[in-house]
Amino acid sequence: MNNKSFVFKTIESSLEKGKITWESPSNIALVKYWGKKENQIPANPSISFTLSNCKTTTTLHYTKLEVPSKEYQFSVFLEGEQKDDFKPKINTFFKRIEQYVPFIKEYAYKIETSNSFPHSSGIASSASGMSALALCIMSMEKELNPNLTQEEFIKKASFLARLGSGSACRSLEGDLVCWGAHKEITGSSDLFGVKYPFEVHSNFKNYQDTILLVDKGEKQVSSTVGHNLMHNHPYADNRFNQAHDNLSKLIHVFKSGDLKAFIEIVESEALTLHAMMMTSLPYFILMKPNTLEIINKIWAFRQQTGLHLCFTLDAGANVHLLYPEVEKEEVLAFINSELVGYCQNEHYICDTVGFGAQLIKD
Q: Give residues in contact with ligand DP6 (CB under 6 A).
A: 29, 32-34, 40, 46, 124, 126, 165-167, 223-224, 227, 273, 314-315
The least CB distance from residue 343 to ligand DP6, in Å, is 20
First to last CA, the chain: 35
C-alpha span between 61 and 19 (Å, rounded): 4
The least CB distance from residue 126 to ligand DP6, in Å, is 5
- Amino acid identity of residue 343, one-letter, is C
Q: Produce one character per residue of 255-285: b if its CB has 16 or more CB atoms within 10 Å, e if not.
A: eeebbeebbebbbebbbbbbebbeebeeebe
Rg (CA), the chain: 20
The least CB distance from residue 162 to ligand DP6, in Å, is 8
Closer residue to ligand DP6, CB minimum distance, 172 or 273: 273
The least CB distance from residue 63 to ligand DP6, in Å, is 29
Closer residue to ligand DP6, CB minimum distance, 164 or 324: 164
8 A C-beta contact, residue 190 and residue 41? yes
Closer residue to ligand DP6, CB minimum distance, 129 or 324: 129
Pairing type for strands 319-323 and 310-313 reads antiparallel
8 A C-beta contact, residue 29 and residue 167? yes
Closer residue to ligand DP6, CB minimum distance, 57 or 126: 126
The least CB distance from residue 156 to ligand DP6, in Å, is 18
Closer residue to ligand DP6, CB minimum distance, 42 or 324: 42
The least CB distance from residue 165 to ligand DP6, in Å, is 3
The residue length of the chain stands at 362
C-alpha span between 270 and 276 (Å, rounded): 10
The least CB distance from residue 249 to ligand DP6, in Å, is 17
Closer residue to ligand DP6, CB minimum distance, 23 or 269: 269
Give the residues across from 21 on adjacent strands.
59, 360
Closer residue to ligand DP6, CB minimum distance, 34 or 159: 34
- CA torsion sign, 329 to 347 to 215 to 352? positive
DSSP, collapsed to helix, strand or coil, labels residue 185 as coil
Number of alpha helices (DSSP H) and beta strands (DSSP E) in the chain: 8, 14
